[in-house]
Amino acid sequence: MSETKLMQASATSRRGGWWGIAFVVTLFVSGAMVSLPTARQTGRAIAAFYAAHTGVILVQQVLGVVTLAFFLAFAMALGARRRRALLVGTVMLAISELVTNVVPVILALTNPEPDGAHAWTVIEDLADEALFISIAVFSAAATVAEVGWVRAVGLVVAAISLLRVVLTLVGVAALDALAPIAFLVLILILSVRILMGLSKPIPTSAVHS
């Protein structure tokens, strides 16, 4: 490969860091718009919430799809197409995120009865748990080829995400805020390292993922 092509490839790879930055910004904005109810609330309260916030919920979910597109572009920049574990984590996260987007849209547009609203919210909660399991897989896989301290951050984020799943299942919300923030911090770290040319996807043969 010529020097010019190498430089172009390097520049393209570094631009992938901006996808990570865009993902963090849009996810932060989306999350700040409205907090959706969980199945711990009554069906009547859930139905009333969706009826009162239909517009902002729909906008939030559309923004969520845009956010997912940024995430997928970022994952490709990390080398998801060449690293099996990273690809698995990416696909898992994408599917889980899509479900968490679709269910609120259904609730907002159909105005179900309280029992139906609660049933859909149970599905939303399960998808949310799957999302954080996916985040754990992605965080570990995305940092396996990085320097030691970045790998450590990835493992910490994975552990927090899994612990959040366990605590949520027993009704404890202690990590509901920390887990997503930790993930965003990890994405920012990886994005900055890509932009600085410090984080480069390595060949599949070098990382057994």
Per-residue confidence (pLDDT) for residue 200, from 0 to 100? 54
CB atoms within 10 A of CB 125: 19
35 or 198, higher pLDDT:
35
Closest CA to 71 of 54, 90, 57: 90
How many H-runs (helices) and E-runs (strands) does the chain carry?
7, 0
Residue position matching structure tokens 């860091």 = 17
For 6-11, the CB contacts below 8 A with 24+ separation are 10/197
- Model confidence over 100-148: pLDDT tens digits? 999 999 999 999 999 999 999 999 999 999 999 999 999 999 999 888 9
User: Which tens digit of pLDDT belongs to each residue from 154-169?
Assistant: 999 999 999 999 999 8
What contacts 81, CB < 8 A, 6 or more positions away?
87
Give the gyration radius of the chain's Cα atoms.
19
Predicted local confidence at residue 145, as pLDDT: 85
Read off the pLDDT band of 10 (50, 70, 90): very low
What CA–CA distance (Å, rounded) separates 177 from 174?
A: 8
Identify whether the C-beta of residue 68 lies closer than 8 Å to the C-beta of residue 98.
yes
**pLDDT tens digits, 58-97:** 999 999 999 999 999 999 999 888 889 999 999 999 999 9
Q: Which amino acid is at 191?
A: S
pLDDT computed for residue 202 by the predictor:
47
Other Cβ atoms closer than 10 A to 207: 17
Query: How confident is residue 26, by pLDDT bands cut at 50, 70 and 90?
Result: very high
What average pLDDT is seen over the chain?
88
pLDDT of residue 173: 85
